[in-house]
Amino acid sequence: MKVFIQWVQREALVGVVGMGLLLGVASSGFAQINSRDIPIATQPQQRFSSGQDIQPIFEGWTRNEDGSYNFLFGYLNRNYAERPEVPVGESNFFSPGEPDRGQPTYFYPRTNRYQFEVRVPANFPSDAELIWEVTRRGSTQRAYGWLQAEWEIDVNTITSNGRTQFGRGVDQLYVNEAPHVTVGTSHETVMVGQPVTLTARMTDDELPTPLPERDDDAQPRRRRDPTLVAPDDAPEIPDNIPQYSKPYPSRNHMSVLWVVYRGPASGEFEPAGYQEWEEGMEGDGWTSGAIETVVTFSEVGTYTLRAFVSDAMLISTANITISVTE
């Protein structure tokens, strides 16, 4: 064990020295550091707010009743803060065939699963591949969609990975229908800084059933103490990289999350994150409901906004386009 610790310390020191030399050589210009260029021994300590690439992800495929298939995709934006825009084109495209398959062009930090799906015909060859390629900062990454049997998934896989079952059983999951969603906006063309009201309406079956509300006064579950604990006099490692908190839907009632799916910049959504249906809003929050969200934009451009609407288990999406002028 002692030998292993000494090896890790030596490799980490080599990595630090190497990084110092790299920065010294590049002091006269801009040096981009890619996490894959850092020694393995120090990689777990590295996080970057900006400057990193985007990894498209093939999540798996599902079957449709007409014999066709859906290829599901997500992505990993390796930045913790930067939200790059990569327009559809030579740096963001599908092949073979139509380059625009409805993929996002505005990328939120870290892992974003099950963002969109691409339908392929029933006669799609079992050995063929549908490739999503994204190039960012000179780094080209690809996701390969194919009908390999091991990549077939279902709603159980999706809700488990997306953490949206909230402890409910598969007896509800496999008979629950995804909510039907329509979206609207108060203005289709607005000026920079002008508020826009977005409305998401949902109709749904009576599933899933409500869960007991959480007791805010309940004692939190005891967490296992870490195996390795730093000594009290150990220096604190500086960390100026913000933590990105991924939004999750409500465990009860309808909830909606709005994001910029395509566009040159972010939008300021109020409220931010998933907004849960509340008493006084339209509908009952289970079989029907409507939620309003206000958004403002700081840059001119054409924005495609996507609503992720949850019935407290399954999620449906709908898009709306807004033009922003000076």
Q: What are the tens digits of pLDDT across the range 249-304? A: 999 999 999 999 999 999 999 999 999 999 999 999 999 999 999 999 999 999 99
Tokens of 248: 């999750």
Burial-class residue 153 by CB neighbours within 10 Å (0-12, 13-18, 19+): middle
User: Looking at residue 169, what is its pLDDT?
Assistant: 85
Mean pLDDT, the chain, as a whole number? 86
**59 contacts 91 by C-beta, under 8 angstroms:** no
CB of 192 within 8 A of CB of 299?
A: yes
Q: How confident is the model at residue 119 (pLDDT cuts 50, 70, 90)?
A: very high
pLDDT digits (tens, 9 = 90+) for 6-48: 444 444 444 444 444 434 434 344 444 455 554 444 455 678 8
CB 53 within 8 A of CB 79: no
The second-level CATH assignment, the architecture, of 170-209+246-325 is Sandwich (2.60)
For 235, the enclosing helix (H) or strand (E) is: none
Calculate the dihedral angle through the C-alpha atoms of 121, 122, 125, 129, rounding to the nearest 10 degrees.
40
Which two three-digit tokens encode residue 218?
Answer: 């309940």
Read off the tokens for 69: 């298939």
Tokens of 43: 């990689």
Cα–Cα distance between 154 and 72 in angstroms, integer? 11
Q: What is the pLDDT of residue 25?
A: 39
The full set of domain ranges for the chain reads 54-153, 170-209+246-325
Please state whether beta strands 180-185 and 139-145 pair in parallel, antiparallel, or not at all (unpaired). unpaired
Query: 258: which strand partners?
Result: 307
Region at 3 (left for phi over 0; alpha for psi -120 to 50; beta for the rest): alpha
pLDDT one-digit tens code per residue, 193-228: 999 999 999 999 999 999 987 766 666 666 677 677
What is the C-alpha R_g of the chain? Answer: 23
Tokens, residue 287: 């079989």
pLDDT tens-digit series, residues 208-217 = 999 987 766 6
